[in-house]
Chain A
Amino acid sequence: GAVVSQHPSRVICKSGTSVKIECRSLDFQATTMFWYRQFPKQSLMLMATSNEGSKATYEQGVEKDKFLINHASLTLSTLTVTSAHPEDSSFYICSVLPPSGGAADTQYFGPGTRLTVL
Protein backbone atom coordinates (compact mmCIF):
# COMPACT_ATOMS: atom_id res chain seq x y z
CA GLY A 1 0.00 0.00 0.00
CA ALA A 2 0.89 3.67 -0.22
CA VAL A 3 3.56 4.91 2.15
CA VAL A 4 3.04 8.59 1.42
CA SER A 5 -0.16 10.43 0.54
CA GLN A 6 -0.69 13.89 -0.86
CA HIS A 7 -3.82 15.98 -0.84
CA PRO A 8 -5.22 17.30 -3.04
CA SER A 9 -4.15 15.35 -6.10
CA ARG A 10 -5.22 18.17 -8.36
CA VAL A 11 -6.13 21.80 -7.75
CA ILE A 12 -7.12 24.68 -9.98
CA CYS A 13 -7.12 28.17 -8.54
CA LYS A 14 -7.29 31.79 -9.59
CA SER A 15 -4.23 33.99 -9.72
CA GLY A 16 -3.56 35.68 -6.37
CA THR A 17 -5.02 32.97 -4.18
CA SER A 18 -3.09 30.69 -1.83
CA VAL A 19 -3.07 26.92 -2.07
CA LYS A 20 -2.11 24.41 0.63
CA ILE A 21 -0.80 20.96 -0.23
CA GLU A 22 -0.55 18.26 2.41
CA CYS A 23 1.96 15.43 2.55
CA ARG A 24 1.38 12.61 5.00
CA SER A 25 3.69 9.78 5.99
CA LEU A 26 1.42 6.77 6.50
CA ASP A 27 3.79 4.05 7.62
CA PHE A 28 6.34 5.72 9.85
CA GLN A 29 7.22 8.89 11.65
CA ALA A 30 9.45 11.12 9.58
CA THR A 31 11.61 13.90 10.90
CA THR A 32 12.64 14.80 7.34
CA MET A 33 10.46 15.35 4.31
CA PHE A 34 11.36 16.90 0.97
CA TRP A 35 9.37 19.00 -1.47
CA TYR A 36 10.06 18.82 -5.21
CA ARG A 37 8.70 20.56 -8.24
CA GLN A 38 8.43 18.86 -11.62
CA PHE A 39 7.79 20.69 -14.86
CA PRO A 40 6.31 18.82 -17.84
CA LYS A 41 8.78 16.37 -19.35
CA GLN A 42 11.48 17.55 -16.97
CA SER A 43 13.16 16.25 -13.90
CA LEU A 44 12.35 16.82 -10.26
CA MET A 45 13.88 19.91 -8.74
CA LEU A 46 14.35 19.95 -4.99
CA MET A 47 12.64 22.98 -3.47
CA ALA A 48 13.22 22.51 0.23
CA THR A 49 13.98 20.12 3.03
CA SER A 50 11.34 20.07 5.73
CA ASN A 51 12.44 19.20 9.25
CA GLU A 52 9.94 18.47 11.99
CA GLY A 53 9.95 21.17 14.64
CA SER A 54 12.31 23.52 12.85
CA LYS A 55 12.43 25.83 9.88
CA ALA A 56 12.65 24.37 6.42
CA THR A 57 15.86 24.61 4.44
CA TYR A 58 15.24 26.08 0.99
CA GLU A 59 17.29 25.48 -2.12
CA GLN A 60 18.92 28.43 -3.84
CA GLY A 61 16.44 30.38 -5.92
CA VAL A 62 13.33 29.16 -4.10
CA GLU A 63 11.40 31.97 -2.43
CA LYS A 64 10.72 30.95 1.14
CA ASP A 65 8.04 33.62 1.57
CA LYS A 66 6.18 32.32 -1.44
CA PHE A 67 6.46 28.62 -0.70
CA LEU A 68 5.67 28.24 2.99
CA ILE A 69 6.52 24.89 4.51
CA ASN A 70 5.22 23.69 7.86
CA HIS A 71 6.31 20.37 9.34
CA ALA A 72 4.27 20.47 12.51
CA SER A 73 4.18 16.75 13.23
CA LEU A 74 6.16 13.65 12.44
CA THR A 75 3.59 12.53 9.88
CA LEU A 76 2.51 15.76 8.21
CA SER A 77 4.22 18.46 6.18
CA THR A 78 2.37 21.17 4.30
CA LEU A 79 3.42 23.36 1.39
CA THR A 80 1.48 26.58 0.90
CA VAL A 81 1.88 28.42 -2.37
CA THR A 82 1.04 32.00 -1.48
CA SER A 83 -0.39 34.47 -3.97
CA ALA A 84 -0.12 31.91 -6.72
CA HIS A 85 0.49 33.01 -10.30
CA PRO A 86 0.34 31.08 -13.59
CA GLU A 87 4.09 30.50 -13.53
CA ASP A 88 3.62 28.53 -10.30
CA SER A 89 1.59 25.94 -12.21
CA SER A 90 3.47 22.70 -11.84
CA PHE A 91 3.50 19.22 -10.36
CA TYR A 92 4.50 19.29 -6.69
CA ILE A 93 5.83 16.12 -5.14
CA CYS A 94 6.81 15.34 -1.58
CA SER A 95 9.00 12.56 -0.29
CA VAL A 96 9.58 11.08 3.12
CA LEU A 97 12.79 9.79 4.62
CA PRO A 98 12.65 6.94 7.15
CA PRO A 99 14.14 7.71 10.55
CA SER A 100 17.43 5.84 10.07
CA GLY A 101 20.94 6.78 9.04
CA GLY A 102 22.96 6.55 5.87
CA ALA A 103 23.03 8.26 2.50
CA ALA A 104 21.52 5.19 0.87
CA ASP A 105 18.23 5.43 2.67
CA THR A 106 15.32 5.19 0.32
CA GLN A 107 13.04 8.18 -0.03
CA TYR A 108 9.36 7.34 -0.42
CA PHE A 109 7.50 9.62 -2.79
CA GLY A 110 3.96 10.85 -2.75
CA PRO A 111 1.78 10.64 -5.88
CA GLY A 112 2.10 14.38 -6.49
CA THR A 113 -0.25 17.36 -6.70
CA ARG A 114 -1.03 19.04 -10.01
CA LEU A 115 -1.44 22.78 -9.48
CA THR A 116 -2.96 24.90 -12.22
CA VAL A 117 -3.17 28.64 -11.68
CA LEU A 118 -5.50 30.47 -14.02
Chain B
Amino acid sequence: GNSVTQMEGPVTLSEEAFLTINCTYTATGYPSLFWYVQYPGEGLQLLLKATKADDKGSNKGFEATYRKETTSFHLEKGSVQVSDSAVYFCALSRGSARQLTFGSGTQLTVLP
Protein backbone atom coordinates (compact mmCIF):
# COMPACT_ATOMS: atom_id res chain seq x y z
CA GLY B 1 0.00 0.00 0.00
CA ASN B 2 0.87 3.67 0.00
CA SER B 3 3.03 5.08 2.76
CA VAL B 4 5.10 8.12 3.63
CA THR B 5 8.25 7.99 5.74
CA GLN B 6 9.38 11.24 7.23
CA MET B 7 12.45 12.32 9.13
CA GLU B 8 11.84 12.06 12.84
CA GLY B 9 12.11 15.12 14.98
CA PRO B 10 12.22 17.20 16.85
CA VAL B 11 14.56 19.43 14.89
CA THR B 12 16.03 22.49 16.57
CA LEU B 13 17.90 25.10 14.54
CA SER B 14 19.23 28.57 15.04
CA GLU B 15 17.76 31.40 13.03
CA GLU B 16 19.19 31.66 9.49
CA ALA B 17 20.32 28.02 9.49
CA PHE B 18 19.69 25.70 6.54
CA LEU B 19 16.80 23.29 6.89
CA THR B 20 16.27 19.87 5.36
CA ILE B 21 13.43 17.55 6.32
CA ASN B 22 13.61 14.22 4.53
CA CYS B 23 10.54 12.53 3.08
CA THR B 24 10.32 9.33 1.06
CA TYR B 25 7.25 7.56 -0.17
CA THR B 26 5.92 4.25 -1.39
CA ALA B 27 3.03 4.35 -3.81
CA THR B 28 1.52 2.66 -6.81
CA GLY B 29 1.25 4.80 -9.88
CA TYR B 30 2.11 8.46 -9.82
CA PRO B 31 0.94 10.21 -6.69
CA SER B 32 0.87 13.93 -6.10
CA LEU B 33 3.08 15.04 -3.22
CA PHE B 34 2.49 17.70 -0.61
CA TRP B 35 4.03 19.44 2.36
CA TYR B 36 1.60 20.72 4.96
CA VAL B 37 2.49 22.88 7.96
CA GLN B 38 0.72 23.08 11.31
CA TYR B 39 1.48 26.16 13.37
CA PRO B 40 0.77 25.99 17.11
CA GLY B 41 -2.96 26.09 17.78
CA GLU B 42 -3.90 26.17 14.10
CA GLY B 43 -5.10 23.75 11.44
CA LEU B 44 -2.96 22.28 8.70
CA GLN B 45 -2.08 24.57 5.84
CA LEU B 46 -0.73 23.61 2.45
CA LEU B 47 2.87 24.74 2.15
CA LEU B 48 3.70 23.44 -1.32
CA LYS B 49 2.94 20.62 -3.73
CA ALA B 50 4.21 18.84 -6.84
CA THR B 51 2.21 16.73 -9.23
CA LYS B 52 4.78 14.95 -11.40
CA ALA B 53 8.40 13.87 -11.52
CA ASP B 54 10.99 16.66 -11.43
CA ASP B 55 8.38 19.26 -10.49
CA LYS B 56 9.59 21.70 -7.85
CA GLY B 57 7.11 23.12 -5.40
CA SER B 58 8.01 26.34 -3.62
CA ASN B 59 6.45 28.78 -1.19
CA LYS B 60 7.67 31.19 1.50
CA GLY B 61 11.29 30.27 0.79
CA PHE B 62 10.63 26.54 1.15
CA GLU B 63 11.29 24.17 -1.74
CA ALA B 64 10.82 20.48 -2.49
CA THR B 65 11.51 18.54 -5.70
CA TYR B 66 9.55 15.44 -6.74
CA ARG B 67 12.26 12.80 -7.32
CA LYS B 68 10.74 9.67 -8.77
CA GLU B 69 14.04 7.81 -9.07
CA THR B 70 14.60 8.07 -5.32
CA THR B 71 10.89 8.31 -4.39
CA SER B 72 11.64 11.39 -2.34
CA PHE B 73 10.25 14.85 -1.71
CA HIS B 74 12.64 16.49 0.74
CA LEU B 75 11.75 19.90 2.14
CA GLU B 76 14.46 22.58 2.20
CA LYS B 77 14.82 26.19 3.21
CA GLY B 78 18.01 28.17 2.95
CA SER B 79 17.51 30.40 5.99
CA VAL B 80 14.90 29.59 8.61
CA GLN B 81 13.18 32.13 10.82
CA VAL B 82 11.70 31.86 14.28
CA SER B 83 8.26 32.14 12.68
CA ASP B 84 8.91 28.86 10.81
CA SER B 85 8.61 26.94 14.07
CA ALA B 86 5.81 24.45 13.45
CA VAL B 87 5.09 20.81 12.66
CA TYR B 88 5.69 19.83 9.03
CA PHE B 89 3.87 16.93 7.37
CA CYS B 90 4.76 15.24 4.12
CA ALA B 91 1.81 13.65 2.32
CA LEU B 92 0.78 11.96 -0.88
CA SER B 93 -2.55 11.95 -2.66
CA ARG B 94 -3.89 8.70 -3.93
CA GLY B 95 -6.70 7.47 -6.09
CA SER B 96 -9.72 9.13 -7.61
CA ALA B 97 -11.00 9.98 -4.13
CA ARG B 98 -7.88 12.11 -3.61
CA GLN B 99 -7.31 10.86 -0.09
CA LEU B 100 -4.13 11.95 1.66
CA THR B 101 -1.62 9.66 3.34
CA PHE B 102 0.53 11.55 5.84
CA GLY B 103 3.98 11.06 7.23
CA SER B 104 4.50 11.16 10.97
CA GLY B 105 5.27 14.88 11.09
CA THR B 106 8.45 16.70 12.08
CA GLN B 107 8.48 19.28 14.84
CA LEU B 108 10.75 22.22 13.94
CA THR B 109 11.85 24.75 16.53
CA VAL B 110 13.89 27.76 15.41
CA LEU B 111 15.74 29.64 18.13
CA PRO B 112 16.60 33.34 17.88
Contact = CB atoms under 8 A, between A and B. Distances in A.
Interface in A71-118: 93, 95, 97, 102-107, 109-112
Interface stretch (B11-19, B39-47, B69-77, B78-86): B39-47
Nearest to A4: B43
What's the interface size class on A, roughly?
A: 20 to 34
Contacts of A105: 93, 98
A109 B105 CA distance: 16
Interface in B21-77: 31-32, 34, 36, 41-46, 49, 51
Main secondary structure of the interface of B (DSSP, over half): strand
Interface of B: 31-32, 34, 36, 41-46, 49, 51, 89, 93-105, 107
Nearest to B97: A49
Interface of A: 4, 32, 34, 41-46, 49, 57, 93, 95, 97, 102-107, 109-112
Contact of A97 (B31, B51, B98, B102): B98
Contact of B43 (A97, A104, A110): A110
B99 A34 contact: yes
13 contacts: A4-B43, A43-B89, A44-B102, A46-B99, A95-B100, A97-B98, A103-B51, A103-B93, A103-B96, A103-B98, A104-B51, A107-B46, A107-B100
Contacts of B105: 41-43
B103 A109 contact: no
A49 B93 CA distance: 14
Contacts of A109: 36, 43-45
